[in-house]
Amino acid sequence: MTFTHLEHYKIAGQIHVKVENYIHEFIKPNMKLITIVDNIENKIKSLYLAHEKSHNLVQTPQLNNCIAFPTGICINNIVAHHTPYIDDTQILKSSDVCKIDFGVHYNGCIIDSAFTINLDEKYNVLLQSSRDAVDSIIKNIGIDSRFETLSAIAQEVVSSYEIDIDNKTIPIKPIDNICGHNILPWRIHGGKLLYSVVQPNETQIVEENDIMAIEVFTSTGDGTSIMDSDADKFSHFMVKDNIDFDSYIFPKFKIKKTDILLNLIKNNFNTLAFCPRFLYNINNNINNNINNNINNIDISTCHRSYKELFQHNIINIYPPIIETNHNAKVAQFEETVYIGSQSKIILSKNDIS
């Protein structure tokens, strides 16, 4: 990691902090989920533009206006990888346990951070179990920290919590198959996986200059998750790590629209995660500061093209992840942390220790 990379992570972190503060100011019951994510992503764009103006920077526009991935807004037993489509009508209820996971990048240096809200505060203990576990990992993480040790800390903290719901005491469990991860420039998942429960034969360690996304999911249900099998709900896509647009030889696609879709992905996201809503916005010149010279693709009919790109091993598809207990409530907190020889920086909080 270069000094420049760290400075870019810090810029992204400064934007992220301001956006999270903004979310707490505007969010309220009965808001449409699509309105919430639009507000978040518009704020990222406006803060990025304000940063460039204040520093008198004139340079190539940031891919997707510094939005690192689709804003996740996951309700109750939906654990991760859900973002609303443009026509989504679902609203936020006071009783919902709502996880908001959004990312900011600056020149590909990504800040990945999340928090949970429950407006009627019935599940505050559940939220606190996740917050406490993340804070405990951050307190103990350092160069040469063993992932096995950090996972054990998370597991112990979460397992110490229980919650009273409708006159019944329920143990809180960490989700056992969702994990934190390291982050590399332009790669949200860098290859290291930090689970919230101890994994057999775990040998990974934290290395100097690692950027780690520390996240813990806590549940009132079974403590495990599965991928949603309903293809109509798939909303997260990302180009595979081995695809270099400058040198990769792409196949001849059967579907004409697939070439158009791939060009949109290249020009606007490269290896950043994206969703149909982003493509809709680009197609309609919303939040778009990159000249695509293509504006006549019907985004609603691209499902076959996504499938073709997936079949050719060009993109990954990330279905929503759900708790196996449909009645469960799941909370998540997450911070992005830099571990250096002289300092440990919670980049998503602008906090240096």
pLDDT for residue 294 = 47
This prediction has a pTM of: 0.93
Whether residues 258 and 141 fall in one domain: no
Split into its structural domains, the chain has a count of 2
Q: Are residues 221 and 283 in the same domain?
A: no
pLDDT bracket for residue 352 (50, 70, 90): low
In this structure, are 127 and 209 located in the same domain?
yes
Whether residue 121 sits in one domain with residue 39: yes
CATH (domain of 109): 3.90.230.10
- The answer to whether residue 98 scores a pLDDT higher than 60 is yes
Asked whether residue 109 falls in the same domain as residue 240, the answer is no
The pLDDT of 139-164, averaged and rounded, is 98
DSSP, collapsed to helix, strand or coil, labels residue 153 as helix
pLDDT recorded at residue 135: 98
pLDDT of 287: 46
Contact criterion met (CB below 8 Å) for 327 and 109: no
For the chain, how big is the Rg over CA atoms in Å? 20
Domain of 241 in residue numbering reads as: 235-318
DSSP annotation of 14 reads: H
Residues 25, 124 within the same domain? yes
- At 301 the pLDDT is 61
Do 208 and 266 share a domain, yes or no?
Answer: no
Model confidence at 39: pLDDT above 70: yes
Regarding whether 341 and 252 lie in a shared domain, the answer is no
Instruction: Check whether 289 has a pLDDT greater than 50.
Output: no
Comparing CA positions, the residue from 199, 146, 136, 150 lying closest to residue 333 is 136
Same domain, 222 and 115: yes
Pair 257, 288 in one domain: yes
pLDDT, tens digit, 9 for 90 and up, residues 269-285: 999 999 989 988 887 76
Same domain? For 40 and 73 the reply is: yes
Same domain, 84 and 201: yes
Whether 54 shows a pLDDT value over 90: the answer reads no
Which pair of tokens denotes residue 352?
């240096």
Band (pLDDT 50/70/90 cuts) for residue 290 is very low
